[in-house]
Amino acid sequence: MTTRLPDDFYDRIKPRLHRRIGREVRLARRVLDLGCGSCDLVRYLAETYGQQVTGVDVASGSFPRRRRTADGGRFRCLRRDAAGMRFAEDGAFDAAVSMWALHEMDDPAAALREVRRVLRAGGELFVMDFPRGSLAQRLWNEDYYRPAALKQLIRRAGFQQVQLRVIERGHVMWARGYRPASTKSMKQKEPESCHG
Q: In what order do the strands lie in the sheet with 119-129?
A: 76-79, 52-57, 30-34, 93-99, 119-129, 172-178, 160-167
173 binds ligand SAM (CB under 6 A): no
Of 37 and 158, CB closest to ligand SAM: 37
CB 28 within 8 A of CB 91: no
**Using the rule CB under 6 A, which residue among 73, 81, 156, 183 binds ligand SAM?**
81
129 binds ligand SAM (CB under 6 A): no
Query: Least CB distance from residue 73 to ligand SAM, whole Å?
Result: 20
57 binds ligand SAM (CB under 6 A): yes
- Exposed e or buried b for every residue in 167-177, given b needs 16+ CB within 10 A? ebeebbbbbbb
Of 90 and 104, CB closest to ligand SAM: 104
Q: Contact residues for ligand SAM (CB under 6 A)?
A: 34-37, 41, 56-59, 81-83, 99-101, 104-106, 111
